[in-house]
Amino acid sequence: MTDLSATTSSAYQQALEVIASVEPRIAEATRQELADQRSSLKLIASENYASPAVLLTMGTWFSDKYAEGTVGHRFYAGCQNVDTVESLAAEHARELFGAEYAYVQPHSGIDANLTAYWAILAHRVEGPWLGEAGVKNMNELTDADWEKLRHELGNQRLLGMSLDSGGHLTHGFRPNISGKMFHQQQYGTDPATGLLDYDALREKAREFKPLILVAGYSAYPRRVNFAKMREIADEVGATLMVDMAHFAGLVAGKVFTGDEDPVPHAHVVTSTSHKSLRGPRGGFILATEEYAPSVDRGCPMVLGGPLSHVMAAKAVAFAEARKPEFQAYAQDVADNAKSLAEGFKKRGAKLVTDGTDNHIVLLDVTSFGLTGRQAESALLDAGVVTNRNSVPADPNGAWYTSGIRFGTPALTTRGFGHDEFDKTAELVVDVLQNTTPGTTKAGAPSKATYTLADGVAERTRSASAEMLAAHPLYPGLDLS
């Protein structure tokens, strides 16, 4: 990361002084969060470090503006500047990803997925129903027609990747609203390799005939052939929706191209704007022109008023991602993931799919005699920030899990390279080898408690500190 100017540093200092004049505890928590992030090995795959420009863009009076509706068609007056912000964000998104249409209002990735689901339902189900009834909108339907439409909307089929295979909660997981909205089934991975089996997926799609086929992942450490996914969707008459929230930065950075780029192949693509894309926390949707009118109804169909200050920050982040240096960063993210994976493997650790093609490394910690929750907690004690994650056919379920998910975007932003990620793998393995599972009060094996051997946390933090000092976070920013 490049050094911040004295002006930028002063801006943050003065902002915290203003905050402290009202609620000093918030200012102090903000300072402490920066200190904690500076002193930790951040390896959570869904986290990154946004640029000062992105962060500062969110702290403006755009936060004060209501702007329900779309550009040029708002339900509130005085939205001309919001129109400018939203138009620029959408323009940058279209150009960055080569998309026909972009919608930048979703507040999060889950909001983006929910908006996309309802847009697809509106396009594929509601529209034809209105045409059959000979009316222009639902307000003109008779009560009997409305009941039929409600039944039809609520009984469509969705096929998504299972959670333990690397899918996301919003891909049809039953406790999530997506699993309640749809008659859903899930596809998994090959039990022997952990890899997607496209032939098995095709057979499942032929049998189930979903309205929506969802591709994409949150914990699958390999690339996906989206051309094959589109072939399968077309064969069964499904809409292909791709959730690229995790790997959007690798698409924007041209690491994923051709069949591995979802945008030319999917009808609808959803994403977050943070994670590997390194923008503000938020969501967005890309789509073909065919689906654009339905997606445009996101507010008020599903969303509340758009967060104009975050849309402005999305525009800044997309503009940053269009620069050549972002492509170099994205390639480093993928290369560093391979370095981390190889570092684990040569030290005897077990990886799901035996490696990685993207930014994710999924470690099976059962070989250390641990659950994911025990491993996550022990690593945090040693200053290594990760998250536990299910592995295929996980015997410990979605709460305790049997895996730890690692991601390289954040530390790559700090400047870590091959040597640092190899050293990181060494530190992680050392911590896990020196962690002992605990027992319950009744003496049975515990899935949560553990003991970390004396001195391990201290030596891990000491070794981490050397690497972190060589790659400071927001250098030049002094909040003391």
Same domain, residue pair 445 and 313: no
**For residue 77, is it within any domain?**
yes
- For residue 4, is pLDDT > 80? no
pTM: 0.94
Same domain, residue pair 190 and 94: yes
Same domain, residue pair 252 and 349: no
| Residue-range definition of the domain harbouring residue 224 | 62-321
* Nearest Cα residue to 192 out of 352, 349, 347, 345: 352
Give me the DSSP letters along 263-314: TTT-SEEEEESSGGG---S-EEEEE-TTTHHHHTTHHHHT--S--HHHHHHH
How far apart are the C-alpha atoms of 361 and 33, rounded to whole Å? 26
* Nearest Cα residue to 218 out of 271, 279, 278: 271
In the block, residue with structure tokens 């994650």: 389
Q: What pLDDT sits at residue 17?
A: 93
Same domain, residue pair 230 and 87: yes
**For residue 35, is it within any domain?**
no
**Domain with 283 in it: what CATH number?**
3.40.640.10
How far apart are the C-alpha atoms of 380 and 259, rounded to whole Å? 38
Same domain, residue pair 105 and 220: yes
**For residue 119, is it within any domain?**
yes
Same domain, residue pair 168 and 259: yes
**Contact (CB, 8 A) for 373 and 399:** yes
Residue at which a domain ends, from 321, 353, 368:
321
Same domain, residue pair 196 and 255: yes
What's the mean pLDDT when you consider all of the chain?
Answer: 94
Same domain, residue pair 315 and 341: no
**For residue 56, is it within any domain?**
no
Q: Confidence class of residue 159 from pLDDT cuts 50, 70 and 90?
A: very high
- For residue 10, is pLDDT > 90? no
Tens digits of residue pLDDT in 424-440: 999 999 999 999 999 98
Tens digits of residue pLDDT in 174-189: 888 888 889 999 999 9
**For residue 142, is it within any domain?**
yes
Which residues, at least 6 apart from 298, have a Cβ–Cβ distance to it below 8 Å? Answer: 103, 105, 106, 115, 118, 119, 285
Same domain, residue pair 98 and 151: yes
**Domain with 420 in it: what CATH number?**
3.90.1150.10
* Nearest Cα residue to 414 out of 5, 47, 1: 1
Same domain, residue pair 290 and 362: no
